[in-house]
A and B are shown apart, each in its own frame.
Chain A
Amino acid sequence: MRDAFVARLTELARKDRRLMLVTGDLGFGVLTNFAKEFPQQFLNAGVSEQNMTLLATGLALGGRTVFTYSIANFPILRPLEMIRNDACYHDADVKVVGIGGGFSYGALGISHHATEDISILRSLPNMTVVVPCDLFETQEATTALARSPGTAYLRLDKSKAEPTEDVPFELGKARVLRQGADLTLVACGGIMEEVLAVHETLKSEGILTRVLSMHTVKPIDRAAIVDAANNTGGIVTVEEHTVDGGLGSAVAEVCLDEGSVPKRFARIGLRAGFSSTVGSQKYLRQVYGLDYPAILDVCRRLVRSKAIR
């Protein structure tokens, strides 16, 4: 996803000289060409995420569209107050890009597990939160965010679902990747690859699931959630992220706010807190019940369970 993002940003930077990329001293080998091609549009703030975010805000207030770039929690948690007070409150055109969402950097330890970012950032006013599931969404989201003024967070991870380009991308509008009515699977991020595999297996068992890519977690597509709650057999949310306040919470909030209680409901996400266990993204998904077999199991049980309404 990272490379897809940089490739698209490069195209955009060629057309828009006001577009700028500020890194917190990360992106070895990845940002090299961008830096070479656009010396006026690239800036290494050094290992200083607070200043990176402040700089970006200042540059944005001066009329630029600025992408800040770092990995995992660095661009969001260290400078969270700068994101809130400075970027968001001023509606500054700052796009915070975190590569390594979820367990992308699973083997590096908890400092590098970005597993609370969605819930933290979606609570900020004036913030758009986008979590693409594949390369297509990554590129489309990059373009859409560059063209949409204001502050946003783009969470990229290392995994990716197979791109489905036939479904158009629009910020704030869920993409229906698979049709079905027995159950709706709502997911965001690269973990969609597990969800799509679950869809195929269930299909072979005669269970048709609707699959929604909720790439924009904020503002969330309320209509798509209400429709899933009213017109399918239930909702399962899947995220490589804590269940506290993330995608699943956002979906549940919409259901109750709108009075559209799904017939069945389950949230799949991280419930174990910090993971002192390390390993690959694939491995940690398995450990914490976020992988294909675990999701499949939840779905099978849910479909067989009695409807709650």
Chain B
Amino acid sequence: MSRFRAELNGQGELPAHWNTEELAARIRRDVVQMTHDGNSSHVGSCLSMADAAAVLYGHVLRVDPDNPEWEDRDRFVLSKGHAGACVYAALAESGFFPLSKLKTHYQDGSDLSGHVSHKGIPGVEVSTGSLGHGLGIGTGLAYGAALDGHEWRTYVLMSDGECDEGSVWEAALFAAHHGLGNLTAIVDYNKIQSLARVDDTIRLEPFADKWSSFGWDVVEVDGHDHTDLKRGLCWDGRSPDRPRVVIAHTVKGKGVSFMEDTVLWHYRSPQGDEFDAAMEELG
């Protein structure tokens, strides 16, 4: 059985990392360290989804670090694969593999690639890196689970810029048409994509209306407020025959003041004084 069942959270004596706030704080420090060590990009993308990752791994997902292949586990697909460091950190902090492995991220000979890979990494379901793949795969997983009457659920976390991809909307059409109530998409809506702000690139607004008109159950949350995230990811009262999208309003680079809401930190790697300052802010 999962050690991360939602109903256990907040009850009795739990290890610190079961507290989602603490887990998020650890993930933030990990990803800054990893992108520093590996001189890699996308720290801003990792920081914006760190809270969602913490709530998922610390509260929502029924997964078992001691048995990553557990048949009835929930399936989580990171579709914005460039934030792989965030998922590696969440997995390591949750006990799927030793924290020391994070030091190899992005290094010669490592299997912790910049974009998330499942090969040899316990807990990663699907490798991604090219945007617009995750929702379709998640839809296939959810459709199969529904056919078989499985209770496990599928979660797909996407970026906002990713929603420029047509394949996202192909999957959105399909999931709604087939009433996949066991599927949850989460959009890390940090309003910044690769080169500029989303609004100055390809406008998504009215974003919630788009999903809604496609037939999805839409919940908008503050993607850094864990109570709000838990509300969005809660299954109570959910329509059994509509997929849900949780539009998580986030701030790119959240947690490090000088990284917040800037295009620069999509690619910039924290080095030198910037690294020291970031780690100091993160405690």
Q: When the two chains form their complex, are residues A58 and B130 in contact, meaning their CB atoms are under 8 A apart?
A: no
A82 surroundings in chain B (CB, below 8 A): 133, 136, 167
Task: Report Cα–Cα, A283/B130, bound state, in Å.
Answer: 41
Q: A226 to chain B: closest CB distance in Å?
A: 33
A43 surroundings in chain B (CB, below 8 A): 143
Q: When the two chains form their complex, are residues A54 and B141 in contact, meaning their CB atoms are under 8 A apart?
A: no
Q: Is the C-beta of B121 less than 8 angstroms from some C-beta in chain A?
A: no
Q: Is the C-beta of B50 less than 8 angstroms from some C-beta in chain A?
A: no
Q: What mask results when residues 248 to 288 of chain A are scored 1 for a CB within 8 Å of chain B, else 0?
A: 00000000000000000000000000000000000000000
Within 8 A of A (CB), among B109-159: 118, 125-130, 132-133, 135-145, 147-148
Q: When the two chains form their complex, are residues A51 and B130 in contact, meaning their CB atoms are under 8 A apart?
A: no
A54-B167, A90-B127 are contacts. A62–B173 as well, Cβ < 8 Å? no
Q: Number of residues in A with C-beta < 8 Å to the partner? A: 25
Task: Report Cα–Cα, A97/B130, bound state, in Å.
Answer: 24
Name A residues whose Cβ lies closer than 8 Å to a Cβ of B.
40, 43, 45-46, 48, 50-51, 53-64, 81-82, 85-86, 89-90
Contacts A51-B136, A58-B142, A81-B130 known; list 11 others, CB within 8 Å: A46-B173, A48-B167, A50-B132, A50-B166, A51-B171, A54-B140, A57-B140, A58-B136, A62-B144, A64-B144, A86-B133
Task: Report Cα–Cα, A175/B174, bound state, in Å.
Answer: 42
Q: When the two chains form their complex, are residues B118 and A63 in contact, meaning their CB atoms are under 8 A apart?
A: no
Q: When the two chains form their complex, are residues B127 and A48 in contact, meaning their CB atoms are under 8 A apart?
A: no
Q: When the two chains form their complex, are residues B166 and A55 in contact, meaning their CB atoms are under 8 A apart?
A: no
Select A61's contact among B126, B128, B171, B174, beta carbons within 8 Å: B126
Select A59's contact among B129, B144, B167, beta carbons within 8 Å: B144
Q: When the two chains form their complex, are residues B125 and A55 in contact, meaning their CB atoms are under 8 A apart?
A: no
Q: A103 to chain B: closest CB distance in Å?
A: 29
Q: When the two chains form their complex, are residues A62 and B145 in contact, meaning their CB atoms are under 8 A apart?
A: yes
Interface residue SS majority, chain B: helix
What 7 A-B pairs come out closest when comparing CB atoms?
A: A58-B140, A54-B136, A62-B144, A51-B170, A55-B140, A48-B170, A58-B141
B171 surroundings in chain A (CB, below 8 A): 51, 54-55
A55 surroundings in chain B (CB, below 8 A): 136-137, 139-140, 143, 171, 174
Q: When the two chains form their complex, are residues B141 and A59 in contact, meaning their CB atoms are under 8 A apart?
A: yes
Task: Report Cα–Cα, A54/B174, bound state, in Å.
Answer: 11
Q: Write the chain A residue with the least CB distance to B172.
A: A51
B133 surroundings in chain A (CB, below 8 A): 54, 81-82, 85-86
* Contact sample, A vs B, 6 pairs, CB 8 Å cutoff: A50-B166, A51-B174, A54-B139, A58-B140, A61-B137, A85-B127
A53 surroundings in chain B (CB, below 8 A): 136
B135 surroundings in chain A (CB, below 8 A): 54
Q: When the two chains form their complex, are residues B143 and A59 in contact, meaning their CB atoms are under 8 A apart?
A: yes
Q: When the two chains form their complex, are residues A45 and B174 in contact, meaning their CB atoms are under 8 A apart?
A: yes
Q: When the two chains form their complex, are residues A48 and B174 in contact, meaning their CB atoms are under 8 A apart?
A: yes
A82-B136, A86-B137 are contacts. A58–B143 as well, Cβ < 8 Å? yes
B140 surroundings in chain A (CB, below 8 A): 54-62
Q: Write the chain A residue with the least CB distance to B118.
A: A90
Q: Write the chain A residue with the least CB distance to B142.
A: A58
Q: What mask results when residues 167 to 188 of chain B are scored 1 for a CB within 8 Å of chain A, else 0?
A: 1001101100000000000000
Task: Report Cα–Cα, A66/B213, bound state, in Å.
Answer: 30
Q: Write the chain A residue with the least CB distance to B128.
A: A85
Q: B277 to chain A: closest CB distance in Å?
A: 37
B136 surroundings in chain A (CB, below 8 A): 50-51, 53-55, 57-58, 82
Q: When the two chains form their complex, are residues B174 and A50 in contact, meaning their CB atoms are under 8 A apart?
A: no
Q: When the two chains form their complex, are residues A46 and B174 in contact, meaning their CB atoms are under 8 A apart?
A: yes
B137 surroundings in chain A (CB, below 8 A): 54-55, 57-58, 61, 86
Q: Write the chain A residue with the least CB distance to B117.
A: A89
A48-B174, A50-B167, A62-B145 are contacts. A85–B129 as well, Cβ < 8 Å? yes
Q: A61 to chain B: closest CB distance in Å?
A: 6
A51-B136, A51-B139 are contacts. A58–B174 as well, Cβ < 8 Å? no
